[in-house]
Each structure stands twice: as C-alpha cells, then as structure tokens.
Structure 1
Amino acid sequence: MTENENHDVEPASPPAGPAEPTTGAEPTTGAQPIWAGTAPAYPHQHSWYGTPPTQQVPVVPPRSGGGAGKVVAAGLLGFLLAAGGAVVGGAVVHDLDGSHTTTTTSAANSTPTSVKVMDRSSLADIAATVKPSVVSIQVPGAEGSGVVFNSDGYIVTNNHVVAEARGNAVQVIFSDGKSVSARIVGTDPKTDLAVVKVSGVSGLVPAKFGDSNALRVGDTVLAVGSPLGLEGSVTSGIVSALNRTISEGGDQSNPFQAPQQTTDIGGAIQTDAAINPGNSGGALVDLNASVIGINTAIATSGQSNGNIGVGFAIPGNLVKRVAQDLINGQKVSHPFLGVQVGTAGGNGGATISSVAPGSPAEKAGLQAGDTITRAGSKDIHTSEDLVAAVQSSNVGDRLDLTVVRGGKQQTITVTIGEAS
C-alpha cells in the first residue's frame, strides 16, 4: 500500500457526436496509446485534442515503455488529469501500462528574440551534468525511469511506472550501477506522477528544476532515461509545441487487463527528442541542464510502439508542486471549472456545450452557448487553451473570463473549484 494516494480519477466519457472529454476540451480522432516501458505495450483507442490528424496515430506511454466539433470538458476542464487539460493529438509514453493520449497546440512563448547559433558540442556537458540525477526504476514486469528530487532520497517518476508495484517491490538503479530498494511514498494518477524513496544512500545528486513556463517552441532539449532498459541514454531535439493536452488511459485491447480510467493531462510539452518505452519518468532538460519536464508519453504509428518524433512530457512546474505535496503527505488538489467545451469556428474561442450542475461555472453564471475568448491574461482560441488555463490555476483562484453571449461581450469571474 502506498502512504499517500490520490486515486480519485474523474471519468472522461465523451459526449455523443463530435463532442468529447469531460474535464478539458478535446477534439476527437482515433489514436492508440502505449506506455513507455520495457514491458509489452498494448495500443488503445484514443482521442486527440486539436485538429485531428489525417491518419490515426497511436499513443504509448514509455515505460520500459481542432477545429469545430471538438469538445473538451473544461471543468470538467477541471481535469481529468487534474489531470490536466485538453489533449491534442498525442501519445502516451508508458510501456508498462497501455494508455492513449490526445493533444493540443499552443503558440505560447513563441515571440522571437535575437537569433542565436547554438554550439551543439556543449550538449555533452549538459548530459554529463544531468545523468547522475536520473535513475532506472524496475518493478515486476516493467521498467521505467525516475529523477532524483532531493538529497533525502525522494525520486519522482510516472504513476504508470509504479502502478503495479506493491510495498517495496520497486528497485532503483543509479547511474553508477548501484541498485537499492525503494518504497512508494505517494501517487497521483490524475497527473500521472508518483514519488518513491530510497534510504541509506549517500552522495545523491538532486536534479535542478527550471521554469517550464519560460520554454519556447524551438528550444533545444535533451531526454534522459532508460529506453528499452538501456540506462543513461540521452537523446536531443527541440520543443515542438507547448500546452498540449494528452489523454492517457488503460489498455482496452488486452483481454487479460481490466479497463483503466482515462485521465487528461494539460499543459504538456511536445518534443521530437527520441522517447521510447522505458523513458517514462525520465528527465526532459534544457540547455541549462535544468529539468523542465518528466517524459510520459509518445505518439506511435501503425503497429510500431517506437519513437516517431512525437513525444510528451509533464511540465516541470507541475511536477515540482505535485511531488512536494506527495512528499509532505498532502492531498494533491486539482482545479475544476465544470464545463464541457468545444472549439468555436475559426479558432474563435472555447464554446460551452454544457455546464455541470452545482459547479463553479454554474455558480458564476456561465451558460451553454457562451464562448470564452480570454481567461485571466491568456487569450483563448481553442478548447485546449481553456483547459490549459484552468489546469494552470490553483483551487480557490478567481479567474476573470471574457465571454461572448448573444453577440455581446462581458466579463464573468469564476472561483476555481477542486475536483472530487
């Protein structure tokens, strides 16, 4: 048994027709997810957030393994993920457990500054700095990665990496080859994060976490982990997109595994750095050797569960908050708005299709048919944008929403609630 578990995963049943998720905004297109781990991955049907791709793309969790018509549960955008946010065509990196992912895109932080020429020879120094802080994690039947969170022995990883472990059935292998047992401290399925702890290990090298909100599309990043059991592997790429919403779920195609709850994770970082089964829980780092994300999922194509250049990471700022809550033995709170939304025509905002009774949205006066074009300081062009805005809020925050109703614009202030 874990010491601190948050297993209250919200349902994400897509509405009939083109509508989708209930906790964020999602568009739909079939996709098969797989976790990144070393165990066999099982593809699953998955929905994508954002403009659906022209062909189905499976999503896989690496544990040792759009337009009008898409609907996301924006408060239900609360999220599944507490999971965070809407998913935009993406895949999940968990090989251990099957799941699927959807994603959305955002042009945030893409304003150009001065053009700089990067000396790629410096990547070796970055890799050497980060590798001692990244570990391999093994549980019966699967393998993933983890990141040393502090010198007290706490290590953060993906929930799906340790989901099947019990008690101390978790083995951690450090970069120097030392292998020790670890206990599960806490898990949060809604954000797909977990913390384990090793004891009696000296000389730990905690990772340095950077500000994931400062990332821009095009930034160079490195993915560090144990793909396919190959410990200490490093790949490089760029930030392909920001604020994607990925939907991770259980393996629906494996007759020997009970269906698992789908969860949406918002604000995800998309990268083309190679991520494969086993990378789940590993580090995505920037050129300052700072961890700005935890690798969690990949999109796959056809029958292959391998990398096709579309991977996803949970943003570092969210990782820091959730990990610290788990370490402190606190309940991880998940923001909740209580609306189901779809993207307005021409990416003109997030249009509400339904409002949950008794939700923060209903209490604030939001109605079906309202189109939200701004949330706080962020412009809202798609349902995924709204999911990301809610996901990045804290429970109790007052969020000013610019709403168009009957052709007239008004401001409605909502107090963000907590998902049950």
Structure 2
Amino acid sequence: MHQPPHGPAGPPGQWPAGAPGGGHAAAPARKRRGVPVWAMLLVVAVVAMASAGVGGAVSASLVGNEPPEPQGSNALNNEVPSDVPSRAPDTIAGVAQRVSPSVVSIRSASPQTGGNGSGFVIEGDYVVTNNHVVDAVERTGIEVVYSDGHVSKAEVVGAAASSDLAVLRLADPLDVEPLEFGDSDEVTVGDTVIAIGAPLGLEGTVTSGIVSALNRPVTVGESGQEAYISAIQTDAAINPGNSGGPLVNEQGMVIGVNSAIATMGSLSGEQTGSIGLGFAIPSNQASRVVEQLIETGEAPHAVIGAVIDLQYREQGALILEERENGGDTIVRGGPADQAGLRPGDVIVEFDGTPVRDGNQLVTLIHTKAPGDRVEIRYERNGEEHTTVMVLGSSND
C-alpha cells in the first residue's frame, strides 16, 4: 500500500472527470520551473496507520462570521468521568471531556496486522472514519476500541474512496452520546478547533489549534483510489493514527474529519510527524456522503465528463486535446459535452470560484453533488465564454 510521495504540484497524469472506469493516463511532458529543495520534500500523507506495515504516503496538490451555534442537544452530553476534575463546557478541556467518550480507535482484529486509525460515533451506533483506514484493516476484521477500553467488532456499511470516507456499524456498541456535524460553511480562519484521535496508537489524544486556511485542494490516496478534498487546514497537531477522527469546534460540533498531514518527508518517502499542517474533510461534504453511505452503501461523486490535464502549468484547467490511447477526452453526451465544452478549452472559473489549475478544479467538482447546476467560464482560442453545466455522477 506504500506509494512514493509526490511534491506539492500533485501527481502527473490526467483526471478522468467523467468517464466511469477511466484511469489516469500519462500526459505529455512539459517543462517545469525549478523549485527549492524544501518544496520538493513537502508531501501530504494519510495519517491512519502508526506502523510501517500498514498505511502509506500519498500525493497532494497544495495549491468563512461568527462561530456556529450548537445545532442539537447531544453534542456535549457525555458525562465527565468521576475521577477527573470537571471543566466548563466552553473550554478546550470541557469540550474534550465530553466529546472524547464518543471518539474511538480503529484497528485490525488480527494481532499480526499493525497500525490504527480513529473514528467517531454518530446517531444509530454508526462510526464515521476514513476510507483509507477501513481499506487497510477490513480484510483481517475490524475492531473498534472506546476510550474506556471497551472493544466491539464492526462491519463496513459503506465506503467511498473518492471522498475518503467510510461508515462502520458496531456489533457491541456502548451507550455514548453521538457526535453531531456542524456547518463547515460557517467556519472561518482563526476559529479554535480541537482534534481527538489515536495518533501512533495513543487513544484519546487531544490537541488544539486554529483553522489555518480553508478550501485547500488536497489529494489523498494511491493511484486509482484518489480522494480530492477541498480541505480545512489546521495547525492542531495531527499524526499517523489520527485519520478518521473528528475536528471539532468550541461547541463540540464536528466541523471536519481529519484525513491528511503535510510533512517534510525524506527522499525515500518515509512518513514523519506533524509540522502544523493538517487537513480535514469539511463536515458539510462529510455529512452528505455519510448519509448516502448509510442509506445505500455508496456515495457517487460529481463529474464533468472531461479529461483534465493535471500537468498544465498555465492559469486554469485545460481539457486535454487528445489521449495517448486515442480515446475521447470529452464523454459524448456527458455534462461537458452538453454544456458545449470542447478539447483544448481552458476552464477558468467554476461556479463563481476562479480556477488556478486542474487539481483545484477536481476538488471543486467533488464539493458538489451529482445533478447540481454550475456556471462554467472558459477560454477558447483566446476568447472567453460562459455556460451552465449539470454535473454527472460516478462511483469510480
């Protein structure tokens, strides 16, 4: 499962943004500007596994209002353990005391399989975590460990590699208060956040920080299993083992699902610890995907039906003019085709957001749902055009 990390520009190749079953193809080589050595070593890694035997490095493209009010009565209703001093609910300690019982560690049922990830309990005794956490341990059986040491077997309800999210059902759940999703659209840079999980297998670890940035285009996963996330960036310490755990606000609402970190990795691709650059899947995207997984076991993601050249270095996202295998770069009858887009067009704005490059476009697409109508601004032969596109759907 290990994969050599790529630099901040992301992996070479094209993203088949619409054709089911399409894979990454090698794009024509283009001359690149030189970058400093430190930039070449900056990689984003999934943070699920603490052992060298499970998990791995991943590629990445690094290219908010008042804090949200509580949206329900259950977010902080777990009782504080009797053997610790109670803290006010609106403090970091108070949030951690009341949220931690609903945060779990996820591991393999086999003692021969090392590593761990994190997750959190939501309504109906379901546990939310990352797809890459589940993918690493599912074949040997999954165990969920509560903060008090209680262990329950778990089965996968559904998983979506394209969103790096998965839902488990517990066989022997404890009576803990489910955590609730907050509104990630109300999050702003500078908000206080708290990360809870099991870094390096250390269950119940609490770290805090702030929201450092929003809408970071981050690619998580190995070739063919990439998730494109418009992530919440935080400086709260996140390390291998934190993946799938909650990033909560000062009200104890989940505003993100921790998924990846940037590290100053070695040239061999070895993982290192937190340098204050963590990335979480926004709660609004996570809650939508989780609901779909619970209802159907699947969560189709939005597509535009065009192959984007991820090596294009000018402003915007270029629709590839031709593929090496001779296949079409725009799916006939697909969203891009129906919207009037053609090979060689450069998409410069997506639903009101300027597009810097292909990786950003893909993450923007993944923030939408299939069937959404979006306005596209694009350039063709030096002239600018605007069209409306209805996004397609794919499980790939």
Q: Same fold (TM over 0.5)?
A: yes
> Is 1:15 matched with 2:27?
yes
Aligned to 1:123: 92
Distance 1:207 1:120 in 2: 15
- For residues 33-182 of structure 1, the aligned pairs below 5 Å read 54-65=39-50, 96-105=54-63, 109=64, 122-139=91-108, 140-150=113-123, 152-166=124-138, 169-182=141-154
Distance 2:167 2:99 in 1: 19
Aligned to 1:356: 330
RMSD: 3.3
> Is 1:292 matched with 2:264?
no
CA shift at 1:149, angstroms?
Answer: 1.7
- For residues 214-363 of structure 1, the aligned pairs below 5 Å read 214-250=186-222, 261-303=224-266, 304-337=271-304, 338-341=306-309, 347=315, 349-354=316-321, 355-358=329-332, 359-363=334-338
- Counterpart residue type for residue 45 of structure 2: V
> Is 1:379 matched with 2:354?
yes
Distance 1:236 1:28 in 2: 37
Distance 1:94 1:57, change over 3 A: farther
- Aligned residues between the structures: 339
Distance 1:160 1:131 in 2: 22
Distance 1:229 1:58, change over 3 A: same
Q: Give the secondary structure class of the aligned counterpart of 1:144.
A: strand
Distance 1:168 1:368, change over 3 A: closer
Distance 1:392 1:298, change over 3 A: same
Q: Give the secondary structure class of the aligned counterpart of 2:137.
A: coil
In structure 2, runs of 5+ residues without a counterpart are: 1-19, 68-87, 322-328
Answer 1 or 2: higher relative contact order, Cα 8 Å, separation at least 6: 1
- Counterpart residue type for residue 287 of structure 1: E
CA shift at 1:53, angstroms?
Answer: 6.6
More moved, 353-362 vs 173-182:
353-362
Given candidates 371, 390, 395, the residue that maps to 1:415 is 390
Distance 2:37 2:213 in 1: 16
Decide whether the 8 Å contact of 2:344 with 2:380 is kept in 1.
yes
Distance 1:94 1:311 in 2: 20
Q: Give the secondary structure class of the aligned counterpart of 2:29.
A: coil
Decide whether the 8 Å contact of 2:308 with 2:358 is kept in 1.
no
Aligned to 1:192: 164
Decide whether the 8 Å contact of 2:44 with 2:59 is kept in 1.
yes
Distance 1:272 1:370 in 2: 38
Decide whether the 8 Å contact of 1:94 with 1:278 is kept in 2.
no
- Counterpart residue type for residue 128 of structure 1: Q
Q: Give the secondary structure class of the aligned counterpart of 2:41.
A: coil
Q: Using the aligned pairs only, state the percent identity.
A: 37
Distance 1:395 1:197, change over 3 A: same
Deviations for 1:9-47, whole angstroms, at most 9, x for unmatched residues? 86334413249xxxxxxx9999xxxxxxxxxxxxxxxxx
Deviations for 1:199-223, whole angstroms, at most 9, x for unmatched residues? 3434221112111122222322111
Distance 1:11 1:214, change over 3 A: farther
Q: TM-score, normalised by structure 2?
A: 0.75
CA shift at 1:325, angstroms?
Answer: 1.4
In structure 1, runs of 5+ residues without a counterpart are: 1-7, 20-26, 31-50, 66-92, 251-259
Q: Give the secondary structure class of the aligned counterpart of 1:390.
A: helix
Decide which structure has the larger Cα Rg and report it. Answer: 2
Q: Give the secondary structure class of the aligned counterpart of 1:156.
A: strand
Distance 1:29 1:280 in 2: 33
